[in-house]
């Protein structure tokens, strides 16, 4: 499959077959790395890493993945370049596109990464925006596939803020790949209607379902329970209100037991606020695969760069 030259902005742009190809490539690159084999498909390439928002996993994953494949990554923090301040995003994109072979962007407005993709003339990868976090979803899908051996037909429950970038992106990824998807959240924090309807279309094609509910009994038979922080970066002033609203949706032993299965796994994209969205007990338990997910960020990001830019 040829994804050369493609941007990676949201999984809406990728077919289930293309997503599967990236997952297969990730698994292959991971297996090789475990054997001490790294590649040279990005040899001689220079990669710009633009970070408006700080990051542990995304930054480290892009750096290590780039170096493993022979590329030079250059970190550009918010104080290092003029992105959208003294220089328009469009102009910055055209400058960086002349100097770099690929550009990663992690920041606030989704339209920033779209403008970079439109004007740079080189592949642009979304490391997170307020709307979407597609590299995380690839890591999540790879982790689930490693754990269960398959994706199609599994039951996935996301508990928490159902309108944030993680809920949006998980709904896209799971519905495309045939995973039954439930958002467990107060109705005021359900995803927007337009995106839900779009994903319902993906689910109809893949044979999966989408459920939005406030009823925690709906976690029965879930194979995966997933959560994220109740307050995203930049929303700190809403913290008290969010905690009050989402406390009933905390992932704790009681919620995990409601699945009625002892094979249910717990997932979180990290960083976690233990005691809020998840208890320490569940986070540290044997069913938690959060650090597999964190590692898989690197293997899946490597696959995206190799597929879209590699030789």
Please list, in sequence order, all residues whose beta carbon lies within 8 angstroms of the beta carbon of residue 181, skipping any fewer than 6 positions away: 156, 158, 170, 171, 174, 175, 199, 203, 208, 209, 210, 211
Report the alpha-carbon distance of residue 247 to residue 231 in Å, rounded.
Answer: 12
Report the alpha-carbon distance of residue 83 to residue 12 in Å, rounded.
Answer: 26
- 56 and 152 share a domain? no
Catalytic: which of 6, 110, 133, 242? 133
Is 211 within 8 Å of 181 (Cβ atoms)? yes
- 166 and 266 share a domain? yes
- 212 and 283 share a domain? yes
CATH number of the domain bearing residue 95: 3.40.50.1370
What stretch of H or E contains 67? Answer: helix 57-68
Report the alpha-carbon distance of residue 97 to residue 255 in Å, rounded.
Answer: 48
Catalytic: which of 106, 110, 180, 299? 106
192 is in an annotated binding site: no
Please indicate, yes or no, if residue 187 is contained in any of the structural domains. Answer: yes
**Mean pLDDT per 10-residue section of the chain, whose length is 311 residues:** 97 98 98 97 98 96 98 95 88 97 97 98 98 98 98 98 97 98 97 98 98 98 97 77 94 98 98 97 98 98 98 92
- 125 and 218 share a domain? no
- C-alpha dihedral sign at 35, 36, 39, 42: positive
59: annotated active-site residue: no
Please indicate, yes or no, if residue 66 is contained in any of the structural domains. Answer: yes
pTM of the model: 0.97
199: annotated active-site residue: no
Please indicate, yes or no, if residue 245 is contained in any of the structural domains. Answer: yes
- 271 and 148 share a domain? yes
Please list, in sequence order, all residues whose beta carbon lies within 8 angstroms of the beta carbon of residue 205, skipping any fewer than 6 positions away: 16
- 171 and 187 share a domain? yes
Catalytic: which of 140, 228, 250, 299? 228
- 26 and 90 share a domain? yes
- 151 and 128 share a domain? no
Determine the pLDDT at residue 233: 66
Please indicate, yes or no, if residue 1 is contained in any of the structural domains. Answer: no
What stretch of H or E contains 59? Answer: helix 57-68
**Residue 152: how many CA atoms within 13 Å on its side-chain side?**
7
Please indicate, yes or no, if residue 230 is contained in any of the structural domains. Answer: yes
Give the count of domains, the chain.
2
Please indicate, yes or no, if residue 3 is contained in any of the structural domains. Answer: no
- 140 and 99 share a domain? no
250 is in an annotated binding site: no
85: annotated active-site residue: no
Please indicate, yes or no, if residue 238 is contained in any of the structural domains. Answer: yes
242: annotated active-site residue: no
Please indicate, yes or no, if residue 2 is contained in any of the structural domains. Answer: no
* Dihedrals phi, psi of 278, to nearest 5 degrees: -145, 145
- 46 and 162 share a domain? no
Report the alpha-carbon distance of residue 236 to residue 53 in Å, rounded.
Answer: 14
- 30 and 129 share a domain? yes
- 102 and 143 share a domain? no
270 is in an annotated binding site: yes
Q: Which domain holds residue 208?
A: 136-290
232 is in an annotated binding site: yes
133 is in an annotated binding site: yes
- State the residue for tokens 């998840």: 278
57 is in an annotated binding site: yes
204: annotated active-site residue: no
Report the alpha-carbon distance of residue 6 to residue 93 in Å, rounded.
Answer: 16
56 is in an annotated binding site: yes
* CA 169 remoteness from chain centre: 7
Catalytic: which of 110, 131, 199, 269? 269
């Amino acid at each position: 499959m040829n994804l050369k030259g493609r941007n990676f902005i949201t999984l809406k742009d990728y077919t289930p077959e293309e997503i599967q190809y990236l997952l297969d490539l990730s698994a292959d690159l991971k297996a090789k790395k475990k054997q001490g084999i790294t590649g040279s498909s990005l040899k001689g390439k220079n990669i710009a890493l633009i970070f408006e928002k700080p990051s542990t996993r995304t930054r480290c994953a892009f750096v290590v993945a780039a170096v493993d494949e022979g590329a030079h990554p250059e970190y550009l923090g918010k104080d290092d370049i003029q992105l959208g301040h003294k220089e328009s995003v469009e102009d910055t994109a055209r400058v960086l596109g002349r100097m770099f072979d690929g550009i990663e962007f992690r920041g606030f407005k989704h339209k920033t990464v779209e403008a970079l993709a439109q004007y740079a003339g080189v592949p642009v990868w979304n490391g997170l925006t307020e709307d979407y976090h597609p590299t995380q979803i690839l890591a999540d899908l790879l982790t689930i596939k490693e754990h269960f051996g398959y994706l199609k037909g599994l039951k996935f429950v996301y508990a928490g803020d159902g309108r944030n970038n993680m809920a949006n992106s998980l709904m896209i990824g799971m519905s495309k790949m045939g995973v039954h998807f439930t958002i467990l959240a107060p109705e005021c924090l359900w995803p927007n209607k337009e995106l839900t309807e779009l994903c319902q279309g993906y689910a109809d094609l893949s044979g999966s379902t989408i459920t939005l509910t406030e009823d925690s009994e709906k976690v029965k038979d879930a194979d995966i329970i997933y959560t994220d922080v109740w307050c995203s970066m930049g929303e700190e002033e809403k913290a008290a209100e969010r905690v009050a609203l989402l406390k009933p949706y905390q992932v704790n032993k009681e919620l995990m037991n409601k699945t009625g299965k002892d094979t249910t796994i717990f997932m979180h994209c990290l960083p976690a606020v233990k005691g809020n969205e998840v208890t320490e007990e569940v986070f540290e338990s044997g069913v938690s695969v959060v650090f597999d997910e964190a590692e898989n960020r690197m293997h899946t990001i490597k696959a995206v760069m190799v597929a879209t830019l590699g030789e």
